[in-house]
Amino acid sequence: MKLITQTHPTESKLTCANAAFKNKDFELAIVLYEDALKHSKEPIRSNILFNLNLLKKRLGPSPAATKAKPEKRDITNNLVPIKHLEPDFDDSEYWKSVGDDPHFHIKPKQERYFEAGWYQIELLVESSRRTNLAKFYLNYGDGYSEKNTFSLPYNSKKLAKRIVYFKEYCSEIRFDPKESQGRFRVIGLHITPVAVADAEDIMLQEMLSQRTKVKLKDSASYKIQMKFEKRAYSNKFILVEHIFYNYQELFTGRSDSIAYEDWIECIEKPSLPTAEQVNLNIINLSIKPVISVVMPVFNTDEQYLSLCIDSVIAQTYPHWELCIADDASPKPHVRRLLEAYAAKDARIRVVFRKENGHISHASNSALEIAHGEFVALLDHDDALPDYALYFIALAINANPDAQFFYSDEDKLDQNGARFEPNFKSDWNPDLFYSQNYVSHLGVYRRELLNRINGFRPGVEGSQDQDLLLRCLPHVRHDQIIHVPRVLYHWRMVEGSTALASGEKSYTMNAGVKALQDYFLTVNPRISVEPGQVPNTYRVRWPLPESPPLVSLLIPTRDRRALTETCVRSIIDRSTYTNYEILILDNGSVESETLEFFEQIQKEDRRVRVLRYDCPFNYSAINNFGVLHARGVVIGLVNNDIEVISPEWLTEMLSHAIRPDIGCVGAKLYYSNDTLQHGGVVCGIGGVAGHSHKYFARSNTGYFSRLFLTQTMSAVTAACLLVRRDVYEKVGGLDETNLKIAFNDVDFCLKVREAGYRNLWTPYAELYHYESISRGIEDTLAKQERFGGEVEFMQKKWGDLLKIDPYYSPNLTKDREDFSITSSDHV
């Protein structure tokens, strides 16, 4: 210490401590850090604590304690139930989770029980679900938050463990044993302190054992790779922080993975027929089509090519042929392998192209040798589950007039594990224009493909989307059938779009070209441009040369500030100008509000104020407004709306005037920039709920759906455009049965029933300060009225509320987050 202070006479104690640390005088560094800690403040204090803990753990226990092992802290019986938990009275050792957020509090047995440092968590739980995710929230004195959370995935009755780091003294812990309902018991829960060197070794060993699942995130990756390869590296004190940073990747995102594993085990597998049932059903099929599986091949890895072909051979439906076109692969194993398979099974047919022509030409070569009534498309390194063609055959029999079938899909990692399922919408034209969500498994009637001359060269990278686009003029919407089962596995290998869309950046340009060429045959004024995320597109629909008048109806009562913000944001920020604003005054009495009404009508002649002096009835007020509107397009707008994007009205109007479109909805945010409305999904909460509610504004949503124009069953009337003739055709809003709630859902379902598609666009962005003026259902009368409206909707629409064609039955109806349905609710 004397040497350092003489060398650095003007520097602080913290600088001296850092110097001692650097010079590896660790005992001196501890003394200096502890002294500096007495007078430090955040964020320096946290840094000191981190370094101090590293030093203490590295030096190990004091000589007096060298024989003592770290205390294994058993807190199994120290759990205090807080929420969504009930004891199981049939067995006192078990608990019942009665909600989606069950949790305990762990109170320390003594003061300073969980000091800053490294710990190993060991958890053993018996649960009604096979796979689960536990979460631990650490309270450092300022409450619980997501930033101080650790996750631990586990299987029922199997020990799970992981390393965690407490950055400072932890006063208590919240323990969430699972994220679903069900029965469980905590057999064992231990939180044991470990030395930093041991923590480092445990983390590296686990990362090595799961190397293919780890994505190293920063420049420390090189040093970690050196450790993997047992080479020397320096400065372990700094490196352990980077190791932990990457170690976390083993646990992030596991919630969705666990939910999918549970879905496979508890929902998919029980739904699959036995071999005897399959054979009996096939015998009884009235149509037994031959399905030609078309597969272009080029230089495929031998292992993956074999796995791909084997997945076809394993099909439980026997009436298939595999048509392979090798696109002049230079690697010798390709021909050898293909010839061997063709010799083994007569249903496998191979053509060897003399020159490389890329995927479209190769696919056409495979099509030329196909004889089946239907054609299924398969990439050379992917795989089909063994029941894929069986379920396609069932769908063909159920829909004998159909021209095209597509299924759900998922991905395979390099170990063959399934993940990231894409549970799709039924046929959704605008979603397809925005993204090739259809993708795999795609099965076409062969006559249809012959009619359009197969694949088109020049759009490689988006050849599948181009193929379906060119089929659309020859196919009715009801002839496109979605099979809501996972019948295709994309393999996540280097160079595959399953791994990362950025690996094939040329697909974006090919997709734009395919869409532009298609829309040239529909309307040459329609334009296409890249979307906001890779491999998505924005289609701009034109307005007529004489833009139509839009009547924007705004019901209100007093609340001048709220209404004025809404009205002035429309006037000041909207690029589309041919509109009128009808303020529907439902009994305003405040002088400042009445003053604003008079003032705004003088300022802008497009604004009119109409009195509606009747009890509040949202449906009746808007129906009254339509009677006095002059526009050919009606806009229903809440008074708590504020415009964000200047093109909001242009965008919504461009869709509303399309002859096949009914209601058009906008993307609405709360004031904190979380999502309020991303379209309406029927069945959520018993009637309907908002898609992706509370997601961050930047979140792309489920397979980018928050950034894609798409058909939805309904949209909110907080900001809705519809043609006047459509409004009147379905009788407007129901002012008798739905005075307050669900009138917009009911209206949209009537519009859909009349043959129109309701559409939601992410390119019309507005704030929605929801229910500020009307308030919440806080009285008995309001609650009884709301309950009556729920009952009316369920009675009127029945199964249409249970089955939303634009939302997968494999996704939850309990929440609005597009998460996978739980086996506890099946």
Model confidence at 2, in pLDDT bands (50, 70, 90)? very low
Fold of 267-499: Spore Coat Polysaccharide Biosynthesis Protein SpsA; Chain A (3.90.550)
In terms of pLDDT, which residue wins out, 23 or 696?
696
Cβ–Cβ under 8 Å, residues 403 and 444: yes
State which fold the 73-254 domain adopts: Jelly Rolls (2.60.120)
Q: How far out from the chain centre does Cα 322 lie?
A: 34
What is the pTM (predicted TM-score) of this model?
A: 0.76
What does the alpha-carbon distance between residue 336 and residue 331 come to, in Å, rounded to a whole number? Answer: 10
Q: How far apart are CA 386 and CA 134, in angstroms?
A: 33
Please report which confidence band the pLDDT of residue 10 belongs to, taking 50, 70 and 90 as the band edges.
very low
Digit-coded pLDDT (tens) for 582-627: 999 999 999 999 999 999 999 999 999 999 999 999 999 999 999 9
User: Lowest-pLDDT range, 71-75, 345-349, 577-581, 658-662?
Assistant: 71-75
Fold exhibited by the domain 550-825: Spore Coat Polysaccharide Biosynthesis Protein SpsA; Chain A (3.90.550)
Which residue spans of the chain are classified as CATH 2.60.120.260? Answer: 73-254
Distance, CA of 581 to CA of 719 (rounded, Å): 13
Between CA 20 and CA 27 the distance in angstroms is: 9
Q: What's the sign of the alpha-carbon dihedral 164, 167, 170, 172?
A: negative
Residue 803's CB is within 10 A of a number of other CB atoms, namely: 13
Q: What pLDDT band is residue 343 in, cutting at 50, 70 and 90?
A: very high
Question: Which part of the chain has CATH 3.90.550.10?
Answer: 267-499, 550-825
What does the pLDDT average to over 802-817?
90
Task: Round to whole Å and give the CA distance between 303 and 417.
Answer: 16
Report the candidate in 367, 348, 344 with the shortest Cα–Cα distance to residue 296: 367
Residue 330 banded pLDDT, cuts 50, 70, 90: very high
Can you say whether the dihedral through the CA atoms of 331, 335, 341, 346 is positive or negative? positive
Residue 430 clears pLDDT 60, i.e. is over it: yes
